[in-house]
Amino acid sequence: MSLDAVRSADIRNVSAALKRHWGYDSFLPLQKEAIFSVLEDEDSLTVLPTGGGKSVCFQLPALLMEGMAVVVSPLISLMKDQVDTLKDMGIKAEFLNSSLTVREQSFVIDKIRAGELKLLYISPERLQNEEMIDLLSSVKLSFFVIDEAHCISHWGHDFRASYRNLWMIKEVFKPVSVHAFTATATSQVQEDIVKQLKFTEHKTHIGMVDRPNLTYRVVLRKEVLKQVTRVLEKHDNEAGIIYCLRRKDVDSLSEKLNNLGIRNVRYHAGMTDEERHISQEMFSREKVDVIVATIAFGMGIDRSNIRFIVHAGMPKSIEHYQQETGRAGRDGLPAFCYMFYGGGDYRLWSFFAEKSTERETMMAKLSVIYNFCTRPQCRHKVIINYFGQLYEKSSCGACDYCLNELDMVTDASIVGQKILSCVAKVRTRNYGFGAAHTVNVLRGRITDKIESLSHDNLSVFGIMREESDVFIRHMIEQLIGQGFIERGGEYSTLSVTATGENLLAGEVEPILAKPVIAAKKKESARRAKRRKEIEWADIDQGLFQELRKKRTSLASEKGVPAYIIFSDKTLRDIAAKKPETIEKFAEMYGVGENKLKSYAEIFIQVVKNYSK
């Protein structure tokens, strides 16, 4: 039989397994290529965006190959959810970690020795344990997977020291192939992963970073509680994560929202393990739809129906932003990302950078994310370009800039020159002033400080008298973010940069947007409402809610997150097509053989009861 004939037969087997176990009729981009790298024992690096189906790329070939696949995973919660999902699909999988009792660990070890498992999830630390090495060396292994592989790299945003030692796999288990998977990796991180794992020859599969189902909006933070509650009003009865920069911000915002009747839980590293576990369980099992958290909450959160992400502060890098917003819309359905940023966020991250050995790298990343916030531009394009990919669309149609929600300043150069002139004129050789004083001078206000310094005699005094404080502050933040003004020192004083001098000379031009006004907000809300109506046009929302209740009930009985039963995408398909027979239910999205046996009659009964 020719190689092409063998590959054709393998494709049929792979497609049949995808339909049988996952209930999917087709592959997502690059899944097939990644799967064949595993099947053909070629070391590989695969970078696919969150929601791009990374897990299928190694779980499926594990079913088709002889032996057991070992998956190195960074978090206990991530391991448990993945294994619970596989078991619900009828796939033999287990994990070994510190959450298990001695007896439970012995039970898993017996299964490994008996060759009863297709997938084993372990931590990087456990893999480097001598007893674990001896155990794995005694059984037939199909391949190794390094999940969340960006943790290997010093350049990555979630660096983990124990991941740096995973090169030992190639030495200790030499004939067995190794496959690294991650959602987020710049070219620098990709090179570091390959180097640290000691790949000599390998296949690389790099998917498009873009998440077209996500809509990005970035707004200057003013009254964060009001801004957040407006978002929550738009997404009533939908799941979302609200990220804050500090623990105290999490506690404060969570309490205020609860006091307003918006039920939520909180999550940060200052809470006890038990408190964090309870919050995570309540969110993942759909007992609560909103969680307020620091970035301590995130990796391994597999709830597929998260419809919105709110950043109440600016993350410290594009990588973090992409990873955190990537937790929305994992089911491929529309989701929305809101960021409320302020200059104080930049100063906070700068403070931490000063104490780091990676100061220059951190500051470079910080400048990029601040520019992302303050420069009106296509948000999708910026993220794509940052990860070294080209964005060929002229408009994404899924960000505040491309949706024309931003009102651009037509005379941006003149506005910029007025503000920069003021910054330059009020500054003496050793002493500068902050944004508040600059605004007062431009507005033509007589204050004690202005009078004592004779700044009311300057040519720039009152030249922006007709503009509001909010407008000028908004312009200042954008000029800082775009590198025309620098803010520094203990009192956050302003100074003109070399690029700013070029602006004053008329050699460059800023891109400035006006503060979002009420009319624009209303138009945005109308557009969002219309989009939602279109999205739900063929779906019976009443039936969807009944199906969701049944899913939550089943998940509670089984002690697993609700998405393990069925995703929202599957429930929407059922609510649209209303199957009342086993044959029709088998045609629903994401219904494999095992789920058909386990749940078809239960959900068909919900459909029948609702129809009556």
Check whether 458 has a pLDDT greater than 50: yes
Contact 379, 400 (CB under 8 A): yes
Tell the CATH superfamily of the 214-386 domain.
Answer: P-loop containing nucleotide triphosphate hydrolases (3.40.50.300)
pLDDT score, position 520: 62
Beta bridge partners of 493: 488
pLDDT score, position 273: 86
Q: How far apart are CA 482 and CA 496, in angstroms?
A: 12
pLDDT in tens, 475-494: 999 999 999 999 887 778 99
Contact 551, 571 (CB under 8 A): yes
Check whether 142 has a pLDDT greater than 60: yes
User: DSSP string of 250-299?
Assistant: HHHHHHHHHHTT---EEE-TTS-HHHHHHHHHHHHTTS-SEEEE-TTS-T
Sort 211 into a burial class: Cβ within 10 Å, 0-12 / 13-18 / 19+: buried
Say which amino acid occupies 552. Answer: T
Say which amino acid occupies 562. Answer: A
pLDDT score, position 491: 79
The phi and psi torsions of 565 (rounded to 5 degrees) equal -70, -65
- Residue 301: pLDDT band with limits 50, 70, 90: low
Q: How far apart are CA 505 and CA 415, in angstroms?
A: 14
pLDDT score, position 44: 96
pLDDT score, position 421: 96
Say which amino acid occupies 581. Answer: T
Check whether 413 has a pLDDT greater than 90: yes
440 three-class SS: helix
- Residue 150: pLDDT band with limits 50, 70, 90: confident
Average pLDDT over residues 354-377: 90
Check whether 2 has a pLDDT greater than 50: no
pLDDT score, position 8: 56
Average pLDDT over residues 21-26: 94
Check whether 402 has a pLDDT greater than 70: yes
Beta bridge partners of 75: none
Query: Out of 151-160, 307-316, 346-355, 459-468, which region has the weakest mean confidence (pLDDT)?
Result: 151-160
User: DSSP string of 85-107?
Assistant: HHHHTT--EEEESTTS-HHHHHH
- Residue 183: pLDDT band with limits 50, 70, 90: confident
> Which of 516, 558, 543, 535 is CA-nearest to residue 608?
543
* 10-206 classified as CATH 3.40.190.10: no
User: DSSP string of 227-253?
Assistant: HHHHHHHHTTT-EEEEE-SSHHHHHHH
Assigned architecture for domain 541-611: Orthogonal Bundle (1.10)
Check whether 4 has a pLDDT greater than 70: no
Kindly list the distances between the CA atom of residue 221 and the CA atoms of 307, 486, 490, in Å, as whole numbers in the listed order.
22, 20, 22
pLDDT in tens, 244-286: 999 999 999 999 999 999 999 999 989 998 999 899 889 988 8
Give the alpha-carbon dihedral of 503, 509, 511, 513, to 10 degrees. Answer: 70
Q: Do the domains spanning 10-206 and 214-386 agree at the CATH topology level?
A: yes
pLDDT score, position 1: 34
User: DSSP string of 438-455?
Assistant: HHHHHHT---HHHHHTTG
pLDDT in tens, 482-538: 999 998 877 789 999 999 999 999 999 999 999 876 556 666 667 777 777 777 889
Of all residues in the chain, the percent with pLDDT exceeding 70 is 95
- Please, what is the angle between helix 31-39 and helix 3-17, to 10°? 120
Cα 360 to chain center, whole Å?
24
Check whether 5 has a pLDDT greater than 50: no
What's the chain's average pLDDT?
90
pLDDT score, position 277: 86
- Residue 9: pLDDT band with limits 50, 70, 90: low
Average pLDDT over residues 600-611: 96
- Residue 3: pLDDT band with limits 50, 70, 90: very low
Topology, domain 412-504: Arc Repressor Mutant, subunit A (1.10.10)
Of all residues in the chain, the percent with pLDDT exceeding 90 is 72
Average pLDDT over residues 177-192: 90
Kindly list the distances between the CA atom of residue 410 and the CA atoms of 407, 473, 509, in Å, as whole numbers in the listed order.
9, 17, 11
**Domain ranges, ordered by start, for the chain:** 10-206, 214-386, 412-504, 541-611
DSSP code, position 408: B
Helix (H) or strand (E) run with residue 148 in it: none
> Which of 45, 72, 55 is CA-nearest to residue 193?
45
